[in-house]
Amino acid sequence: MSSIQPGYIAKSTSEFSPIPKTPNDKKRLAFLDALRGLAAAYVIVYHMLLIPQPNLMAPKWIETFAMSGGTGVTLFFVISAFSLCYTMPLRLKEKYPIRLFYLHRFFRIAPLFYCWIAATLIRDIATTNYLHPLAEVIASITFLFNFVPNGQSGFVWASWTIGVEMIFYALFPFIYNYVKTIKHAIIFVFLCLIFWLLIKAILIQLTMPSDYKQSILQFSTFKYFPGFAMGILVYHLYKLFESLHLNSLKCRIYGSIIVCCAIVAFAMLLLGWLIMPSLFGTDSPYYAQSLIYGLLLLGFSLSPWSLFINAMSNYFGKISFSMYLSHPSVVYFLTPVYTWLYQNMPNLTISFLCSLLITFLIVIFISDFTYRFIEKPGIILGHKMANRLLTETK
């Protein structure tokens, strides 16, 4: 979900340099971390309303926006592809770039995910006396569950995105090798769209249980590949702006215009005012989200508004993977607290905001802990393994 990049971390808004000055100046891009953190926060708002049974109500003034928080996952996918493209040139300078790429990806994702696999197994045995089948556990451990019809959501809550991303990671070095320009990136976006249409057409002809088809249509990684492709396209557009050597003022003007267009388009999408082609059916809103979030990412790369790109969102970005995996369980176990708040607070807005505050405080506390003691050691272990590989093969 989230990826750690080597280099600089901005300490204040004034240090958020829109574009590195030289090709080799691989700073840690503050806008990537911040948007990753905002995406995680948006998903949490959505699930806080959706997971409790019956669902929680949101105040009218924020209902449409809050109930669209699931789109934060789309932003994750766009950011993920952009981030990999940004760091891949450094990876290619290493002795065994492909092997090291996979090694770093594994140790970035697996340690925390495996801990949640263990926690989920224990929780389900303790609360419902349910023991997950060995095949289901193996599919998750090997990250192959996206290829298992009706098992693509994963048994770790919210882990379906990991199944989607790990397949993209597996294919990324080969994609990066061929998608070298803006033209290639545009072609790749359309190829991904056409490939998904082809898969859907084949599914219609196949005889299989309806729940299998529904699982594939909802969770297949190839449904989401156009979103990754959009992230790759945005990266190449970012590189184009970099090559123009625009001064800071022009960067901010162009970036602000793009951000404003993205915000207006997103508002139109939420209100149902955005006319979308019906070619992709129910998938059309997702592809519109990918385009809008791609514009937002490009805009903030040029003009990082401090309202969004700041120390808090940057911190959320650092612990975003932990936030994403921990929040469903937190929301589930807080359901009695939400019920009490909604029954005893004077109005809906206060009930909602108090629930949100409690949820974020607990999620942040847990996520900071798991980042420090699981994610970060896993990343360090990945670097040690990489160094050992390089040392042993000299």
Contact call for residues 303 and 259 (beta carbons, < 8 A): yes
In whole angstroms, how far apart are CA 192 and each of 119, 197, 272?
A: 36, 9, 25
Domain containing residue 34: 27-392
Say if 10 falls within a structural domain: no
Q: Report the number of distinct structural domains present in the chain.
A: 1
Say if 313 falls within a structural domain: yes
Say if 22 falls within a structural domain: no
Say if 71 falls within a structural domain: yes
Say if 132 falls within a structural domain: yes
Say if 388 falls within a structural domain: yes
Angle at 364 between CA 270 and CA 347, to 5 degrees: 55
Bond preceding residue 54 cis, omega within 30 of 0: yes
Say if 8 falls within a structural domain: no
Say if 278 falls within a structural domain: yes
Per-residue pLDDT of the chain (394 residues; tens, 9 = 90+): 433 332 223 333 333 344 444 334 457 899 999 999 999 999 999 999 999 999 999 999 999 999 999 999 999 999 999 999 999 998 888 888 999 999 999 999 999 999 999 999 999 999 899 999 999 999 999 999 999 988 999 999 999 999 999 999 999 999 999 999 999 999 999 999 999 999 999 998 988 899 999 999 999 999 999 999 999 999 999 999 999 999 999 999 999 999 999 999 999 999 988 877 666 777 888 999 999 999 999 999 999 999 999 999 999 999 999 999 999 999 999 999 999 999 999 999 999 999 999 999 999 999 999 999 999 999 999 999 988 887 876 5
Give the DSSP per-residue string, 67-134: TTGGGHHHHHHHHHHHHHHHHHHHHHTSSSHHHHHHHHHHHHHHHHHHHHHHHHHHHHHHHH-----H
* Model confidence, pTM: 0.91
